[in-house]
Structures are given as C-alpha cells and as structure tokens.
Amino acid sequence: MAQTILVTGATGTVGSELVKALANRGLVVRAGVHSLIKGERLKQLNPEVQLVEIEYARPESLHVALTGTDRVFMITPFSEDQVAIGKRIIDAAKQAGVQQVVKLSAAGAEAEPGIQLGRWHREMEQYLEQSGLPYTLLRPGSFMQNFLTYNGEAIRTEGKLYLPLGEAKVNYIDARDIAATAAAILSSPVAEHQGKAYFLSGPAAVGGTDVAAALSQATGRSVSYVDVPEQAAAQAMAQAPAWLRDSLLELNHISKNGHAAGLSPVVEQLTGCPARSIEQFAKDYRQQFQAAPAT
C-alpha cells in the first residue's frame, strides 16, 4: 500500500515542486494549503493529489491533515511566529504517529551564534530532534526562483538586477533540485536518512554579474547587475516589519561578506542528477523574465 505524504506549505516555491515530484513517483500526496481555491492548481499537476486545508491558528486542522499520514515534509511560513508554527506541526505529527518528518531548513542553521533566520530554523530543528520522531533536515542555500519572485519586475521592465551583494559569490540552488532531493528521501526507507542534516547548493557559486549574464543569454536582451549599497537596501525596506527587514538585511550582509559561497554535492548524490546551473535556470524560466510586449 502506497504511503501517504503530507507536504505543508504546498503552494509555495519548494512545496509545489515537491508535490509534483512526489505525485510522479506514484505516492499518495496530501497537499497542505492555506486556501483550497489556491490549491486547485496543484490538482492540475496531478488530479490524484489530495488537498487539505491547514490553518495554523486552528490546531484541529493539523489533526485532520495528519490523520492517516505516514510522512511529513515540513515547510513553515516566513513569518514572525514561524517557530511556534513549526513546534505546533511537530507536536501534531508526534500525536498522529507519523513515521518521519523531513524539515526544510536553511543553510547555516547550525552556525553559532548565526543570523536570526538561522536561529529560527535551528530552534525548530532542535525541537524536532528532541521530539523522538525520525527526522531529516534539508539546509538549502538561497533559491534561484527568488530572482523571479523578488527581482522579476525590475528585470522585465528595466533590464536591471538589483542586489546589495557587491562582488560576492552565492551558492544559489534551483527549488526543483531541493524538491527532487526531498522526494528521493521521502521515497527511501526512513532509516536511510534518519538523523541526517543535508546542506544543499547549486553546482557553482555565482555573483550578480554572472546571474545577469545568464539572464541576458537566455532572454536575448540586455540585463545588467546593479550593486545596491546596503544603506539604500535598508531604506528600500523601511516600511517592512522590523523582524522581516532586519533578518533579510542580515542575510544579505553575510552573503556580501562571502559566507554563502560553499558548495555541496548532495543533490547529485541523492538524486543521481547534477544540480541545475544558473544558466539552466535562466533558460527554463526565460519567458517569465521577458519584457511584456508594448501595447
């Protein structure tokens, strides 16, 4: 009998790719979504996908989602209360007798004292480690898809990639490779990856100029990298909540200082396929980076 796997945050960047990857393996996939209407696009990926509404403020919704679930891929929202939400998911998974929890964490979460983003993830990791549940941790670098989510409009309309990173190289990873790695773990015997923490990266650390060059090549139009001074980046986020602004600025600061350039072979080791390059990412998403036609 096929195992049932719950993916929380299933409509997000990694979650939606994982739902697709798991469904293609013939597993029973339960997609945890905040809104059933938003989740409908996951059914379009595979009509066999089960949609289940999860409202973290209502613990009973977690109980329903986890009933009959064998394994969980745990994605927590990037919010001020993410640690509390993570602990709530772990408690509910333990109560439901789940066989394995695979947590999406972040590169450098184990660092001491680390940055705020890492400390949030590490607190959740430790809670999971102490829960008695079989677990595996995935610690990826920054997602390549963030160039589309956060920089896409400026790339399309101005041909500019604005980043406060100087000449730093960063180990960006394609979210599809995170999903493929997670799918490999979730379809393997639990004991094979029990207690492991895997750092994930793309195949090379690249700078803003490299990313702009890849986008230029893929789209056939000029895209240039603009190094934004850190003070200007802070001013641009002045209206954002302090927890959000400060954690992102801190992440950019350590990246600018060369602490996000390390590489890992884990994607290829666990999936059998090399991690996608920035050039491949740009080619695959080139239509989303193209300028809108003039009207």
What H or E segment, with its residue span, contains residue 93?
A: helix 82-96
Decide: 140 and 178 in contact? Cβ < 8 Å. Answer: yes
Give 23-34 pLDDT, tens digit per residue.
888 889 999 998
Give 198-231 pLDDT, tens digit per residue.
999 999 999 999 999 999 999 999 999 999 999 9
Q: What angle do CA 19, 21, 23 make, to 5 degrees?
A: 65
Cβ count near 4 (within 10 Å): 18
Decide: 108 and 141 in contact? Cβ < 8 Å. Answer: no
Q: What angle do CA 185, 102, 81 make, to 5 degrees?
A: 155
**Mean of all residue pLDDT scores within the chain:** 95
The conformational region for residue 97 under phi > 0 = left, psi -120 to 50 = alpha, else beta, is left
Query: Quick one: pLDDT at residue 45?
Result: 78
CA dist 208 and 286 (Å) reads: 17
Name the DSSP class of 192: G
Give 105-149 pLDDT, tens digit per residue.
999 999 988 999 999 999 999 999 999 999 999 999 999 999 999
| Domains, the chain, with CATH or none | 4-141+174-200 (3.40.50.720), 146-170+203-261+276-289 (3.90.25.10)
Cβ count near 111 (within 10 Å): 13
Closest alpha carbon to 76 in 65, 66, 90: 90
Decide: 96 and 69 in contact? Cβ < 8 Å. Answer: yes
Give me the amino acid identity at 145: Q
What tokens were used for 13?
């960047």
What tokens were used for 163?
């980043």
3-state secondary structure 25-92: CCCEEEEEECCHHHHHHHHHHCCCCEEEECCCCCHHHHHHHHCCCCEEEECCCCCCCHHHHHHHHHHH
pTM over 0.85: yes
CA dist 76 and 65 (Å) reads: 15
Give 37-96 pLDDT, tens digit per residue.
888 888 887 888 999 999 998 989 999 999 999 999 999 999 999 999 999 999 999 999
Residues 6 or more apart from 176 whose CB is under 8 A from it? 17, 21, 276
What H or E segment, with its residue span, contains residue 15?
A: helix 13-23
pLDDT exceeds 70 at position 294: no
Alpha helices in 142-206 (DSSP H): 146-158, 175-186
